[in-house]
Structure 1
Amino acid sequence: MKIKIILLLIANIIIMDAAAIPPLPPVGKRWVRNEQFSDEFNGTSLDLTKWYDYHPNWKGREPGIFLPSQVAVADGYMTIRGGKLEKDTIIGSRTFNIACGAVVSRTTDAWFGYYECKFKAAKTTMSTTFWLSSRSHYDGPADCKDSYGLELDIQECIGREGDFKGKWFAKGMHANSHFWYRDCEKKNNDLRAKEVKFETEEFCSDAFNTYGGWWKDESTASFYFNNGEAKEMEFYSDIKEKPFDHKMGLNMVSETYPFPWIELPNDEELADPEKNICYYDWVRSYVLVDVDDSNMDANVDTSVKLYNEQVNLSEDLRELVASKKLEIPLTYMANQDREIYLELRNKDNKVVAKTNFTAYAGYANLLHQLKLKRKPKAGNYTLVANMKPIGEAGKGDISINRTLELKIQ
């Protein structure tokens, strides 16, 4: 005997802020914000416990040089301002005359997880970027002192078009991965996977957009433009079977690109504050943990309200063997630890089964077992899910109801 379960919405739906949620986690997992690589930029200065206001390993791409003076935090944004230097800066054989900026994580502990950033590009040919990279090379797979470094570009763009080959960088999203390989002959090779693109008609400098990348494992990543449908990438693996096998640092950088692929910004736009500034609204990073893992909670900043808190029951059609134990698929979003209550009611609105459990902060996807005293009879039932503050049942409910129709076949 089987039971067909149909979950139908009968109450109010809570609208989610699509710009603030990572992708649906796998069953049994939940996303938890990784504070080490997250920032809302709501202060008056850059948090120097998390970020450098320069790049510790890179002066910049000539003729653009990274300067701390170009980075600021105010009015809810982190900004990087481009500008023309009053006089050239000469470092070795390189000459720099354009001021650029970089905000770079102090640590290189970024590992598998979801990384997203909301920003608006400057209206120049300087870049506005969001990417992960290693800051050293690792021993290669051959026995010849070969080595490799890693780079995962979630978004690189410019703010306007022009008469140059790379003008398409001004629109849409462009995600790339680089396997920087120094081979046995000590030749440096930039080995890439196929680029992931999201095409738009709007310039990246027209409005804020959200760019996300889910670094899934050593071999794959998924990318998201404004939290739409994912596009997949398989990393270049001809040299190393599982190439992205080391942690990286996080970077938000505005730089000059190689000419003539993209022309250098002109003096007029570099002097115009309406054009020469890129705006970063926030950067957010998440790690996947087990649904019932409470150890991550101590690291979560509960003052940041990431979610419109809610609990949702799956509306998928399901067939279950008649049993005293029903597996209930659900998802929830909680800014802090909550309690979820489940009740199964018969057609007379009598409670025939109920349970409750702690919903640890984050975005979770799970199957929860609802135990009955006896196998359910044929008929119509209502399954009710309520999210409540812990220890305050009945106060400040965050509730959503579903109708559960059971049909014995």
Structure 2
Amino acid sequence: MATPRTLQFTTAIRIRLTHLSGALIVAVWLVATLLVAETQAADPVPVTLEPSVRSQAWIYNDQFSDEFNSAEVDLAKWNIDSADFGVWSWEPENVSQKNGSMHLTMAQQTHQRGKQELAYTSGMARMDKTITYGYFEARVKGCSRYPGASPAFWLYSIGPNNRYQAADGETVAYSEIDVIELQQSEYDFETKTHFPVTRIDCNLHTTLLRDGKREWVRPNNFPDICKNHFDAPWDPREDYHVYGAENTKEWIVWYIDGNEVARKPNLYWHLPMHVTLSLGLRYPFVKYADGERLPVLEKTTDVGFPTNMSVDYVRVWQLKESNVDRESPKKTASDWTKDEYVAKEKANWKKNGWNWNQDKVEANFLEVDANGDGLASGSERQAWFARKIAEKDAPKP
């Protein structure tokens, strides 16, 4: 699509060509064409006013960026048919592109998922490729329905084999960076009311492996590590705004309309993650009980639905040294991947006549993989077996 600058430039060239003729016209036109192509091909730069960001040598990464100028979603880049989680269902027909934006739609649609009755469907677009460090930016307009739906721009890791050994010794099994969650209307325990539509959340989530079990580290129970917010002087439903986050090995920094609004030390967010856009269900249609999210079916309504979150673009930049994500661990002959470990254990259980329990074996693998690199090395297996024998022989209290 031609930009105003390009149109002005080509118009000026055409005016000047009327005073020339022959070969000179051809020469001038060729030069003009090259200049226009260069103008059109110029990579975008991050929308930020912070000199510390603008001064860095960012490289625009087209693989993780999308201007949404086509009539159809780029399915080679975006997965719009993700596995369901939460108390609503993701449906590919709820993701569309029109007028230079991607639109994610939430609709009131009562349906059955397994044995559970649910009342809403929505849209999510997630990039299949993963990335860890960089500057992530999207221009987003919130949805009209409030409260009840939360537009989000975020990154998260997938896969049980993803592990990272943090500097404090913790083994990280999940990384999630919420660049923004808009319009969540979460409960304010101080005022005993829900936060207004202008509250923008910029949070972190992770799970740590402790004694073979996953423990969540979330904004509400670890606010110093995970929790940020920005109280906007405008309503995010009314217009597009630019939301960004920079993830480095040392810091995670959030930006809104070019201004820094929050930062946290990067303790645990070093796993490969998927760039994601989604429109999630929130209060009053969702409640929490014993840490589990449940639907509030008695509150179901079609008032305000369908509602749309709109995204003008997603752009990603990386510094030269971060263009290659974390290297995978180098595997030796004595190292077993999770699949190899499970296969060998299955053969061993069959040989001994034991009833096969894959969940237990996979849990054992997480314990064996002490350094969290996704491999059960020979020394790790020996240490694990020695520990189990010692536990078995230890005197009972």
Q: Please identify which structure carries the higher strand content.
A: 1
Amino acid across the alignment from 1:189: W
Q: Who is 1:118 aligned against?
A: 139
Contact kept, 8 Å, 2:201 with 2:228, in 1: the verdict is: yes
Among 139, 150, 157, which residue is 1:127 paired with? 150
Deviations, residues 172-199 of structure 1 (Å, cap 9, x unaligned) = 4321111212421524323452422221
Shift in Å, 1:95? 3.0
Residues 54-100 of structure 1 deviation map (CA, whole Å, 9 limit, x = unaligned)? 32xx40311x1100011100111100111111x42222x43332011
Report 1 or 2 for greater relative contact order, CA contacts < 8 Å, sequence distance ≥ 6.
Answer: 1
Q: Residue 257 of structure 2 corresponds to which residue in structure 1?
A: 226
Cα distance 1:141–1:106, how it changes in 2: closer, same or farther (>3 A)? closer
Distance 1:190 1:69 in 2: 33
Instruction: Map 1:122-201 to 2 at 5 A.
Output: 122-124=143-145, 125-137=148-160, 138-139=162-163, 148-158=173-183, 167-168=194-195, 170-184=197-211, 186-191=213-218, 192=222, 193-201=225-233
Of all paired residues, the percent bearing the same amino acid is 19
The CA deviation string for residues 320-364 of structure 1, in whole angstroms up to 9 with x for no partner, is xxxxxxxxxxxxxxxxxxxxxxxxxxxxxxxxxxxxxxxxxxxxx
Q: In the alignment, is the contact (CA less than 8 A) between 2:163 and 2:174 conserved in 1? A: no
Cα distance in 2 between the residues matched to 1:27 and 1:97: 45
Counterpart amino acid of 1:113?
A: G
Gapped regions of structure 1 (runs ≥ 5) = 1-16, 238-242, 294-409
CA contact (8 A) 1:61 1:257 kept: no
CA contact (8 A) 1:183 1:189 kept: no
Count of matched residue positions in the alignment of Structure 1 and Structure 2: 258
Question: In structure 2, do the counterparts of structure 1 residues 221 and 169 end up closer, same or farther at CA, with 3 Å as the change threshold?
Answer: farther
Structure 1 contact 196–231 (Cα < 8 Å) conserved: yes
Q: CA deviation at 1:244?
A: 2.2
Moved more, 189-198 or 66-75: 189-198
Q: Is the 8 A contact 1:159 1:203 kept in 2?
A: no
Please give the TM-score of this superposition, normalised by the length of structure 1: 0.55
Q: CA deviation at 1:209?
A: 1.2
Unmatched 5+ stretches in structure 2: 1-43, 324-397
CA distance in 1, matches of 2:214, 2:312: 40
- SS across alignment from 1:203: coil
Asked if 1:106 corresponds to 2:125, the answer is no
- Offset at 1:156? 0.5
Alignment of 1:323-338 (within 5 A): none
Counterpart residue type for residue 119 of structure 2: N
Structural RMSD (CA) = 3.5
Q: Which secondary structure state, in structure 2, belongs to the residue aligned with residue 202 of structure 1?
A: coil
Q: What is aligned with 2:280? A: 255
What is the aligned counterpart of 1:45 among 36, 61, 72? 72
